[in-house]
Structure 1
Amino acid sequence: MQKSRDNRKISRRLLYAIIILIVGQAIYHNIMLKVESIRIEPLGKMVVVNGHDMHVYSEGKRGKPTLVFLSGSGTAAPIYDFKAIYSKFSIDYRTAVVERSGYGYSETSGLSRDLDKVLEETRKALSLAGEEAPYILVPHSMSGIESLYWAQKYPDEVKGIIGLDMSVPEAADNIRVLPIANSVMKMARLIGLQRVPFIYPVEYIGLTPLEMDQARYLTNRNAFNIDMRNETSAMLKNFDRIEYNMIKEVPILNFVSSDEESREEISEFSELVKCRLIYLEAGHYVHQFEADTIYREGKTFIESLAQRQ
């Protein structure tokens, strides 16, 4: 009996300690958000779209083919995630990184993340930033679906697609969005779990110390926000918007990671459209690990697009 009471006491103390730790972490996180907010300094142009600010960062000479980089879901600081790759392409081409609502330096909107709304915001942000179609889209991961839909809906605006382990409609078969996902992400944001390095690592390549600080501030501010949560909720519905007969002539070059599931999905997709695959022995963020290969092969692909005109 005494041993049972002792065990209950230990359990209660452990529970109290966990609660205190969580509350302390949440308080610290929210204090630091205010401190870090005054250190956040956008590098590109801020434009107003649907009542909220969106950030577009561009490099390279105008008059050259324009590559538009679109980040994957949950990538909290896109311009820093993409730096290793766009800095290579901007030597020869015009490059633009569009940070969706809730990403990078852009504000959160709280609006639906329906594919039409996301695409129209991207197009409007580019236009307001002074960029002009047609574009060569460079999507990573989930933004592959936005890029395919863009080519489907506005074919004259898309010259081709260079995919960075981009998602394809076949991926929907292997995605399970749990009913509690939104609530879990909301709680994680409230207590600041993104500050735990192994939960939301900030491991971008080729950044200066100041850029790395900015990437961390943006990750702390953006991770698990409402726009990311709404994206998760809309994900499967957005996958269903792609019509193969509308995109079968779009030139696509896709760099595929070493993930076996990803390779199987993209292989099925490539048989239905005009898509060339290059397999890389690299993780999902292929542009972080194989920037030289992507630049070299991407440049050849862009030159082939010019020959098709």
Structure 2
Amino acid sequence: MNMKPKEEVMKNRMRKPLRILLKTLGAIAIAIVLFLAIVFIVNVFATKSEQGKIEPYGQHVSVDGKNMNVLIQGEGEETIVLLPGFGTATPALDFKLLIDQLSPIYKVVAVEPFGYGLSDGTEKERTTENIVGEVHEALQQLNINRYMLMGHSIAGIYGIDYVSKYPNEVTAFVGIDSSVPTQPGMDVKLPIKKLEFLKKSGLLRMMMKLGADPYASLAFDDKTVEQMKMISYKNMNNDTALNEMGHISSNFKGAHDLTFPKDLLLLLFVQANNEGVAGWIPLHEGQIKDSVHGKVITLDGSHYLHHTKFKEIAENVRLFMSEAK
């Protein structure tokens, strides 16, 4: 009989820490919900505010009933068509430093595919076939029928398909650290649902704001940087981009056996020290080995070589094309 009060005391002592733990967990859960709610609301209001601050550039071209944005600069006799790498939120502005170097000599056409820059999004699957067809249709609408194709990163995959489809239009391919169909590691499954959540919750905006400034120390003017950041908040991980991400593996697989035509002028600018992809330089050297006029030029810099080596790229393009004539 004397043990019952002691047992009750012990039970009460055990219940007290449990109640404290539950209250603490409840408070943490409420704090997390409030935090996510604030982040979501801030993102909604910031997005609406930025819509009125984004300044238009280029011109719209109708493709599949939607608007594709294209920037044209320069009046040279030869034309260069620029294609972006995957996830470059605002291609025409991202290429600005390079465009300014090329446009005194060439007519430069920066195409912003659907889901990029100021172009509309689309529900059409982001297969290589669809992306290539849409870009070509935009150029047709602009009566651009003869041009060099210059592409960054994944544009190497779209570009190799493009030149096989339209060999009579493309005079040369210039890669800016362009992807290679046989590069390893492109069969991984990407966390698309998580990336979609980051976008829609507003967490992506917060992460971008808290992260390192990608444009720090680069030669972009302040106004261009401000515009690129606002358009990046709008476009990063949008539905069209996520659809393209979901097709990356199959698009690489589809290009696996494609090669550039032997008689196509082929100039590849390659990051000199890419530690993320084994054999990065040899992969590109393999692409030009059978070319009648092919060249690999290695440059020190990040994957976005055109951010820092725009002068070298422009000058080498000019020299390469003059030597080929």
Taking structure 1 as the reference length, the TM-score comes to 0.90
- Structure 1: distance between partners of 2:108 and 2:73: 5
Does the C-alpha gap of structure 1 residues 246 and 217 become closer, same or farther in structure 2, counting only changes over 3 Å? closer
Any unmatched runs of 5+ in structure 2? Answer: 1-13
Residue 147 of structure 1 and its aligned partner are, at CA, apart by: 0.9
Residue 3 of structure 1 and its aligned partner are, at CA, apart by: 4.1
2:196 is the counterpart of 1:183: no
Identity %: 27
Q: Which residue of 2 aligns with 1:220?
A: 233
Secondary structure in structure 1 of the residue aligned to 2:117? coil
Does the C-alpha gap of structure 1 residues 5 and 259 become closer, same or farther in structure 2, counting only changes over 3 Å? farther
Q: Which residue of 1 aligns with 2:120?
A: 107
Q: Which residue of 1 aligns with 2:109?
A: 96
The range that moved more, 203-212 or 248-257, is: 203-212
Q: Which residue of 2 aligns with 1:165?
A: 177
Does the C-alpha gap of structure 1 residues 131 and 260 become closer, same or farther in structure 2, counting only changes over 3 Å? farther
Taking structure 2 as the reference length, the TM-score comes to 0.86
Does the C-alpha gap of structure 1 residues 95 and 246 become closer, same or farther in structure 2, counting only changes over 3 Å? closer
Q: Which residue of 1 aligns with 2:130?
A: 117
Q: Indicate conservation of the 8 Å contact 2:268/2:296, yes or no.
A: yes
After TM superposition, the structure 1 = structure 2 runs for residues 1-309 of structure 1, keeping only pairs within 5 Å, are: 1=14, 2-62=16-76, 64-128=77-141, 130-171=142-183, 173-178=184-189, 181-195=191-205, 196-197=208-209, 201-203=213-215, 205-242=218-255, 243-244=257-258, 247-257=261-271, 258-262=273-277, 264-273=279-288, 274=291, 275-305=294-324, 307=325
Residue 84 of structure 1 and its aligned partner are, at CA, apart by: 1.0
Does the C-alpha gap of structure 1 residues 11 and 68 become closer, same or farther in structure 2, counting only changes over 3 Å? same
Q: Indicate conservation of the 8 Å contact 1:61/1:93, yes or no.
A: yes
Any unmatched runs of 5+ in structure 1? Answer: none
Q: CA RMSD in A?
A: 2.1
Does the C-alpha gap of structure 1 residues 105 and 202 become closer, same or farther in structure 2, counting only changes over 3 Å? farther
- Structure 2: distance between partners of 1:303 and 1:263: 33
Does the C-alpha gap of structure 1 residues 281 and 207 become closer, same or farther in structure 2, counting only changes over 3 Å? closer
| Deviation digits for residues 256-280 of structure 1 (CA, Å, limit 9, x no counterpart) | 1121344614413432443422112
Of structures 1 and 2, the larger Rg is shown by: 2
Secondary structure in structure 2 of the residue aligned to 1:241? helix
Q: Aligned pair count?
A: 302
- Structure 1: distance between partners of 2:287 and 2:57: 40
| Deviation digits for residues 202-243 of structure 1 (CA, Å, limit 9, x no counterpart) | 528433333222212211111101111111111122123334
- Structure 2: distance between partners of 1:77 and 1:246: 28
